[in-house]
Amino acid sequence: MRLAVVAALLACTLLSCGQSTRAVGTTPVQPDEGVVSGTVVIWPCRPVERVGDPPCPPAPNYTFDLIPVAGTGPTRTVTTDLDGQYRATLRAGSYEAHSRSIRKPRAGQLVTVTAGATVTQNLIFDEGIR
């Protein structure tokens, strides 16, 4: 009997801990948040692109900003992992993705975050090598 009570208390404690903590890259806990993730590619990846060239690879350790459109939240700086993948938990709304390394500012790519959902948005940044 005593063992059953201890096991039940331990199970309740573990379940409540899982709901109150938040690890980086997990599903959003706030009802007005969503997750956006995807792959980042730098294009062009060669000074001259030819028919039959392999596609540009994902960009590891690439940093870019997600800037809110219409004040949906603060600007978020994101860096890709070693596989060129990124993941960010943000307030629901629209954001523009802007490269931090482009010398000449250009219009950003639109990223839409949906509350309670994970959205995949692959990004291609034009670094202008030609």
Query: What does the pLDDT look like over 27-65, one tens digit per residue?
Result: 556 888 999 999 999 888 888 878 888 889 999 999 999
CA 26 to chain centre: 11
Which CATH number fits the domain 25-126, given the four candidates 2.40.40.20, 3.40.640.10, 3.40.1030.10, 2.60.40.10?
A: 2.60.40.10
Kindly report the CA angle at 31 between 29 and 32, in degrees rounded to 5?
A: 110
According to the model, what pLDDT value does residue 103 have?
53
Contact between 40 and 111 (Cβ < 8 Å): no
According to the model, what pLDDT value does residue 3 have?
41
Q: pLDDT category, 24, cuts 50, 70, 90?
A: very low
More confident residue, 62 or 2: 62
